[in-house]
Amino acid sequence: MIEVEKKFILSEGDKEKLLEGADFVGEVKLEDAYYDKPDFSLIKSDRYLRNRNGRFELKLPVSSEMSDVRMDTYQELEDDEEIKEALGLGGGSIEIELDKAGYSPVAEYSSVRRKYKRGEYTIDIDEVSYGYSILEIEVMVNELEGVDAGGKKILDLVESLGLDVDLTKDIRGKLLEYLFREKPDTYEDIVKYWRELGTTGL
Ligand code: V4E
Res. 100: pLDDT tops 70: yes
Res. 51: pLDDT tops 80: yes
Q: What is the pLDDT of residue 65?
A: 55
The residue-averaged pLDDT of 116-133 equals: 98
Q: How far apart are CA 83 and CA 160, in angstroms?
A: 39
Ligand 1 residue neighbourhood (C-beta within 6 Å)? 48, 59, 70, 72, 74, 136, 170, 173-176, 194, 199-202
Q: What is the value of pTM for the model shown?
A: 0.93
Least confident residue range of 4-13, 14-23, 144-153: 144-153
**Total length of the chain:** 202
Task: Express as a percent the part of the chain with pLDDT over 70.
Answer: 97
Res. 68: pLDDT tops 80: no
Res. 67: pLDDT tops 60: no
167 contact partners, CB below 8 Å, separation of at least 6: 69, 155, 158
The residue-averaged pLDDT of 96-118 equals: 98
Q: Give the nearest ligand 1 atom to 74 CA.
A: 1
Report how far apart, in Å, the C-alpha atoms of 119 and of each of 50, 138, 139, 162 are. 30, 11, 10, 18
Q: What is the pLDDT of residue 63?
A: 67
Q: Give the nearest ligand 1 atom to 30 CA.
A: 12
Query: Could you read off the pLDDT of 170-193 as tens digits, one per residue?
Result: 899 999 999 999 999 999 999 999
Q: Give the nearest ligand 1 atom to 194 CA.
A: 25
The residue-averaged pLDDT of 7-24 equals: 96
Res. 36: pLDDT tops 90: yes
Q: What is the Å distance from ligand 1's center to 175 Cα? A: 6
The count of other CB atoms within 10 Å of the CB of residue 192 is 12
Greatest alpha-carbon pair distance for the chain in Å reads 52
Under the banding of pLDDT at 50, 70 and 90, the label for residue 64 is low
Q: Supply the mean pLDDT for the chain.
A: 94
